């Protein structure tokens, strides 16, 4: 078996043979409010605090100040981890106009600077938003995939799915990534919000084929049950 990278998210690793394959690229796609960014931030935080694995959080959609404030509600002091050089937030939310090559160079420099093992790209939806032609989006996704394979991190990429849509990004991402996890939100008959995920793809892994219920708690993501 290939080396595994545990997430340490309660109840999740047992669904994917104790963690992601090392240096794999996993796409988390889902509706707004499904907890994609929380999962990704928890993945970095747990790696840094449990394994001393350095991580980089690349944000194309949220400023560093906003991200730090939002993560503190879960008790995740990213600012302290930055001071300890375990995690680095790369805020590219206002620099998308500088071009993809410039941003890739900055990501690579940051990965090398902290000797990162784990990487989050949040989100490719925001990254590709300025591109008008579908061909340009597809080219960028392929370029990003090749780049991520070269840097050697275990990577979570985030893709946003608008309400009412079943399409994942440009429909290219789901084919080239090593893993695909769909995070969904819905309301039950009582009008209560329910969150579920489906592991649709995980190369080199005998993963769960069930619909998985989860919650966003005060401590982050927590798996509740596996539905038949």
Predicted confidence (pLDDT) per residue in 91-107, tens digit: 998 865 557 778 889 99
What pLDDT does residue 228 have?
43
Under CATH, domain 18-182 is a member of which superfamily? P-loop containing nucleotide triphosphate hydrolases (3.40.50.300)
Residue in 26, 192, 208 with CA at minimum distance from that of residue 124: 26
Domain layout of the chain by residue ranges: 18-182
Does the global pTM surpass 0.85? Answer: yes
What pLDDT does residue 87 have?
97
Greater pLDDT, 72 or 103: 72
Which tokens is 156 given? 């979570």
Q: Are β-strands 118-122 and 55-59 bridged in parallel, bridged antiparallel, or unpaired?
A: parallel
3-state secondary structure of 155: strand
Q: Mean pLDDT across the stretch 39-65?
A: 96
Q: Mean pLDDT across the stretch 184-203?
A: 93
> From the CA atom positions of the chain, what is the Rg in Å?
17
CB 97 within 8 A of CB 67: no
Q: What is the mean pLDDT of the chain?
A: 90
CB 16 within 8 A of CB 206: no
Which tokens is 169 given? 């990004």
What pLDDT does residue 134 have?
79
- DSSP 8-state class, residue 65: H
Give the list of residues 6+ apart from residue 51 with CB closer than 8 angstroms, or none. 6
What pLDDT does residue 124 have?
87
What pLDDT does residue 172 have?
62
Q: What percentage of the chain exceeds 90 in pLDDT?
A: 69
3-state secondary structure of 77: coil
What pLDDT does residue 168 have?
65
| Sign of the dihedral through C-alpha 180, 185, 186, 188 | positive
What pLDDT does residue 195 have?
95
């Amino acid at each position: 078996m290939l080396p595994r990278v545990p997430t340490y998210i309660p109840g999740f690793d047992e669904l994917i043979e104790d963690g992601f394959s090392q240096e794999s690229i996993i796409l988390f796609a889902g509706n707004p409010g499904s907890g994609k960014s929380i999962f990704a931030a928890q993945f970095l935080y747990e790696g840094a605090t449990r394994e001393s694995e350095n991580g980089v959080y690349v944000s194309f959609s949220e400023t560093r100040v906003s991200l730090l404030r939002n993560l503190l509600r879960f008790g995740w002091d990213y600012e302290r981890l930055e001071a300890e050089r375990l995690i680095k937030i790369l805020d590219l939310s206002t620099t998308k106009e500088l071009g993809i090559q410039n941003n890739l160079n900055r990501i690579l420099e940051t990965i090398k600077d902290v000797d990162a093992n784990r990487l989050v790209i949040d989100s490719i939806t925001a990254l590709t938003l300025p591109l008008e032609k579908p061909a340009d989006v597809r080219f960028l996704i392929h370029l990003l995939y090749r780049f991520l394979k070269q840097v050697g991190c275990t990577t979570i990429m985030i893709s946003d799915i608008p309400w009412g849509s079943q399409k994942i990004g440009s429909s290219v991402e789901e084919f080239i990534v090593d893993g695909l996890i769909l995070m969904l939100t819905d309301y039950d008959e009582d009008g209560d919000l329910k969150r579920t995920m489906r592991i649709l793809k995980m190369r080199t892994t005998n993963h769960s084929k069930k619909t998985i219920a989860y919650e966003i708690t005060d401590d982050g993501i927590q798996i509740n049950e596996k539905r038949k």
